């Protein structure tokens, strides 16, 4: 890493995910950066667009689209090849806590601070709401076959959706 660079942003804090040879960082400063791991370990690119801290980000299974969610309920899709935003959707005002794609990359789920699970159909653009958590939803994950979605929340439950 270059001396003086701070890939972790404010106070050295960042969350990260690994995708192929890139370490994918998302920060409280509202920026997504990618550190190349196969060589020098320097910052390859950053995506700017969130006005608030980014709580989670994930790639589609094919790796060409990134979804991110922030602390004010904004969900963004990014074209990773062109390094440009595709769409910004305000599903707030509750924060988006986690995002995950199904195995096809056509459906995106978001766990929200108000307990709602948002499902975005990338082909039609429609958003469906799943309600059942009594408080904040923290995590969402699809089964490998894509038939079920599981969510976990502050209410102490793991919910199964089909």
> Given phi > 0 = left and psi -120 to 50 = alpha, else beta, which region is 150?
beta
Q: Is 156 part of any domain? A: yes
Q: Is 3 part of any domain? A: no
**Domain total in the chain:** 1
Q: How far apart are the first and last CA of the chain?
A: 45
Q: Which three-class secondary structure state does DSSP give residue 10?
A: helix
Q: Using CA of residue 53, residue 35, residue 111, residue 127, what is the dihedral sign?
A: positive
Domain that holds residue 156: 14-161
- What pLDDT, on a 0 to 100 scale, did the predictor assign at position 141? 96
Q: Is 48 part of any domain? A: yes
- pTM (2 d.p.): 0.76
What are the CA-CA distances from residue 16 to residues 7, 23, 109 (Å)? 11, 7, 19
Q: Is 4 part of any domain? A: no
Q: Is 1 part of any domain? A: no
Q: Is 108 part of any domain? A: yes
Q: Is 8 part of any domain? A: no
Largest Cα–Cα distance of the chain, in whole Å? 49
Each residue's pLDDT tens digit in the chain (162 positions)?
333 343 434 333 444 444 444 444 555 555 555 544 455 555 556 667 777 788 888 889 888 898 998 888 999 898 888 878 899 999 988 999 999 999 999 999 999 999 999 999 999 999 999 999 999 999 999 999 989 999 999 999 999 999
CATH number at residue 148: 2.130.10.10
- What pLDDT, on a 0 to 100 scale, did the predictor assign at position 13? 42
- What pLDDT, on a 0 to 100 scale, did the predictor assign at position 20? 44
- What pLDDT, on a 0 to 100 scale, did the predictor assign at position 122? 94
Q: Is 2 part of any domain? A: no
What are the CA-CA distances from residue 106 to residues 53, 110, 125, 143 (Å)? 25, 13, 10, 14
């Amino acid at each position: 890493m270059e001396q003086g660079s701070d890939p972790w942003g404010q106070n050295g804090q960042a969350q990260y995910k690994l995708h192929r040879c890139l370490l994918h960082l998302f920060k409280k400063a509202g920026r997504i950066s990618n550190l190349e791991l196969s060589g020098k370990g320097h910052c390859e690119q950053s995506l700017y667009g969130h006005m608030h801290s980014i709580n989670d980000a994930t790639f589609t299974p094919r790796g060409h689209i990134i979804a991110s969610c922030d602390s004010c309920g904004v969900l963004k899709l990014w074209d990773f090849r062109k390094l440009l935003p595709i769409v910004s959707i305000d599903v707030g005002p509750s924060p988006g806590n986690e995002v995950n794609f199904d195995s096809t990359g056509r459906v995106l789920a978001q766990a929200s601070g108000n307990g709602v699970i948002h499902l975005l159909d990338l082909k039609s653009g429609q958003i469906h709401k799943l309600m059942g958590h009594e408080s904040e939803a923290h995590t969402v994950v699809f089964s490998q076959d894509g038939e079920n979605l599981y969510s976990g929340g502050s209410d102490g439950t793991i919910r199964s959706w089909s």
